[in-house]
Amino acid sequence: MAHFTKATSMHDWLNQRLGIDTLNRVLATEYWIPKNINFLWAMGMILAITFGMLLISGIFLLMYYQPNVNLAFDSVNYTIMQEVGYGWLWRHVHGVAASVVFLIIYIHMFTGIYYGSYKKGREMIWISGMLLFVAFSAEAFSGYMLPWGQMSYWAGMVITNLFSMGGLHMDGLVEWIRGDYVPAQAYLNRFFMLHVLLIPLAIIGLIGLHFGALRIPHVNNQDGEEVDFDVEAKKYLAGDKANSKVIRFMNDFLAKDMMVVGIFLILFFYLVFYHYDFAMDPVNFDPANGLKTPTHIYPEWYFLWSYEILRPFSTNVGLIAFAFAQVIFFALPFLDRSPNAVPASRRGLFKIWFWAMLIDMIILTAMGKVPPIEPFGTIGFYAALTFFGLWIALPFITMFEKKV
């Protein structure tokens, strides 16, 4: 039993019961961050803040949204957009944040790949990050169903059709997922539940895991330098801040982070007020109609690269290709066989691999947007093959990398 004395203040009372001073030290004032990092290390905080904005705007939208196939479209496009005071603002914040969050996720992922931040005991940070990526993808897809417009309906139709598993004859699986023969009321209800409850809960848990996984190996730095955090922290605490290689998470690092967050928020609200339409598909302003297939069905921009990997192949091969694309990034820490955890610029062939992967995914994204006519079909096909080729090559090119 812990030793309790008469508390002299509210702080003291809480401290005796919750150990808030220890928590504050471990998570904030003596959580050491390397000095040698750049603005790309603010992306994680921007993601956390954008998720917060999605949560708050989502709660306001939830007050008027109707998860009913006859009412959903009007509850969004008429009630929220026109009748509810500032309803349009919450919707634009939610829509723009849902799109922008993926841009930041991709920047955050590629920063991790460039600096090798998934290596040297940081594998769990990477894996929890990938779980967040999958969870955000599911969250975005389920949210896209809710306005019950033409794209909601038809994108839902195409994606759930994937579960017919081509030639595997998984009869009944698609209907089981939809709760009906076509996307209808049961379908809307379950995606509503997933979007507002189950997936957000999973995301909150995963963010906790991601932060926890960061605490022991500490944050990486832009030279892949092995920092002895104990020694550097002692220097800092002894007053030799100038020669210490670390700073405190709070307030040193946070203050710098907030500067980048501030710039991000200016750009973010510029989009919300002046260019919100980039995050909204015009086709989705027509109500869902199961009898009228849109001429060209495509997902939101952040899914285009994996959609393009699916598209050039027959159903079965396409499905395997798509499943491969969704999970292969999980394996990065294990497929990269090199002992070097330094920036890609100092890593021989891996430098080429990094830029080739980035450019290939941008090409796949562009080709996913255009209709599958020539030459786009052929370009998309070769870009998909390049994607697989790069992953197959990764263990071989990194295995023989010289130690730097």
Quick check: 340 binds ligand HEM (CB under 6 A)?
A: no
Q: Which residues of 227-263 are buried (b: 16+ CB within 10 A; e: fewer)?
A: bebeebbeebeeeeeeebbbbbbeebbbebbeebbee
Of the ranges 13-21, 111-119, 166-174, 275-283, which one interacts with ligand HEM (CB under 6 A)? 111-119
Binding flag, residue 53, ligand HEM (CB under 6 A)? no
Q: How far is the CB of 116 from ligand HEM (least distance, A)?
A: 9
DSSP string of 179-208, one letter each residue: TSSSS-HHHHHHHHHIIIIIHHHHHHHHHH
Kindly identify the residues of this chain, within the stretch 27-46, that bind ligand HEM according to CB under 6 A: 41, 43-45
Q: Name which position in 47, 93, 146, 233 contacts ligand HEM (CB under 6 A).
A: 47
- Longest CA–CA span in the chain (Å) reads 79
Please say which residue, 80 or 127, places its beta carbon nearer to ligand HEM.
127
**Distances, alpha carbon 268 to alpha carbons 95, 200, 352, 356, in Å:** 11, 22, 32, 29
CA angle 361, 367, 372 (to 5 degrees): 145
Residue 118 lies near ligand HEM (rule: CB under 6 A): yes
Rg (CA), the chain: 24
Q: Which is nearer to ligand HEM, 51 or 90 (CB)?
A: 51
Q: Which residue has the tokens 């841009």?
A: 103
Minimum distance from residue 245 beta carbon to ligand HEM (Å):
14
Give the residue closest to ligand HEM by C-beta. Answer: 44
Backbone torsions φ then ψ of 34, nearest 5 degrees? -65, 145
Enumerate residues 153-212 that contact ligand HEM by CB under 6 A. 207, 210
Q: Does 333 bind ligand HEM (CB under 6 A)?
A: no
Q: Is the dihedral of CA 328, 337, 44, 356 positive or negative?
A: negative
- Residue (150 or 306) nearer to ligand HEM, CB: 306
Q: Give least dist CB 37 to ligand HEM, A.
A: 7
Q: Under the criterion CB under 6 A, does residue 108 sit at the interface with ligand HEM?
A: yes
C-beta of 168 vs 259, nearer to ligand HEM: 259
* Least spacing, CB of residue 361 vs ligand HEM, in Å: 14
391 binds ligand HEM, rule: CB under 6 A? no
**What is the C-alpha separation between 102 and 133, in angstroms, rounded?**
9
The residues that bridge with 287 in the sheet, in sequence order, are 149
Number of residues that bind ligand HEM (CB under 6 A): 26
C-beta closer to ligand HEM: residue 98 or 130: 130
236 binds ligand HEM (CB under 6 A): no
DSSP string, 31-71: -EEES---GGGGHHHHHHHHHHHHHHHHHHHHTT---STTT
Instruction: Tell which one of 194, 219, 325, 363 touches ligand HEM (CB under 6 A).
Output: 219
Identified binder of ligand HEM from the candidate list 126, 141, 307, 322, rule CB under 6 A: 126
DSSP 80: I
Q: For residue 145, which of 65, 212, 214, 223 has the smallest C-alpha distance?
A: 65
Nearer CB in complex with ligand HEM: 130/155? 130
397 makes contact with ligand HEM (CB under 6 A) = no
CB atoms within 10 A of CB 291: 4
Q: Which residues bind ligand HEM (CB under 6 A)?
A: 41, 43-45, 47-48, 51, 105, 108-109, 112, 117-118, 122, 125-126, 129-130, 132-133, 136, 207, 210, 214, 219-220
